[in-house]
Amino acid sequence: MTSPRDSELSPDLQKEVAQADPKRLHRWFDELEREGRVVLRTSFLRTAVYALGAWVFVIFITAGFIVLPVSTWNPFAGDRGISGWMQAGMGLLFVAGLILFGFGALLWTFVFPVVRPRMIVSRWGIESIGSKPGGVFTLFSVAWADVVHVGGHFTPTRWPFPPILQVMLTARADGVRRARWVRVSAQGSTVVHGVNGMLRGRRRDVLALLVHAHAAVQDVPEPEDDRG
């Protein structure tokens, strides 16, 4: 396993890479050596937990609409027990929450299980794909030759919540192929893409895999495109 260039990572990210599961990493790299690629699939358990959490919030907000007096959230209600702007604010908060968590519930309950987003890490590069009737479609694709940096954003939190890690890829814009709805952040001639956080394995494991794989191809001539 090739050692990454630690100077390119922040101390927090270096620590995350060092804490990655060595057994999982060796299994992934063995598969990469043997098959030419490793497929990181969406975690069913993580998807189910997100879906369940979203539905709980949807039920909670809907119950709030039903149980609370209409005057609590409707500024046009006859009862003026609280000020109109507080009623409007409460109503907007309820509606926004219902839309947000309702969208998440539908996404994680129906879309993710059907599309099954997954990321393929190969000797050629990185490709995120999804399923559709009759085949697959590309969400995001970039060759290692066009990857400028593998890193992420590390956000510490207070106990009992774990820190938040978002794995990020910085690549040359003209070397990236992506679906129109996949968001990236443009930075001059490069774009920054957030890796799917719903993949199996811890995010630090995914970060370590990409960091090591990127380091492994830095001084090696680019092979022929071996995407499957």
**pLDDT given at position 194:** 93
pLDDT at 146 over 90: yes
Q: With bands split at pLDDT 50, 70 and 90, how would you rate the model's confidence at 221? A: low
Q: With bands split at pLDDT 50, 70 and 90, how would you rate the model's confidence at 75? A: low
pLDDT at 6 over 60: no
% of the chain surpassing 90 pLDDT: 55
% of the chain surpassing 70 pLDDT: 87
Q: What's the whole-number average pLDDT of the chain?
A: 86
pLDDT at 219 over 60: no
User: Greater confidence, 4 or 214?
Assistant: 214
Mean pLDDT over 132-143 rounds to 92
Task: List pLDDT tens digits, range 182-205.
Answer: 888 888 899 999 999 889 889 999
86-95, 154-163, 213-222: least confident range: 213-222
**pLDDT given at position 64:** 85
**Three-state SS letters, the chain:** CCCCCHHHCCHHHHHHHHCCCHHHHHHHHHHHHHHCEEEEEECHHHHHHHHHHHHHHHHHHHHHHHHCCHHHHCCCCCCCCCCHHHHHHHHHHHHHHHHHHHHHHHHHHHHHHHHCCEEEEECCEEEEEEEECCEEEEEEEEEHHHEEEEEEEEECCCCCCCCEEEEEEEEEHHHEEECCCCCCEEECCEEEEECCCCECCCHHHHHHHHHHHHHHCCCCCCCCCCCC
pLDDT at 49 over 50: yes
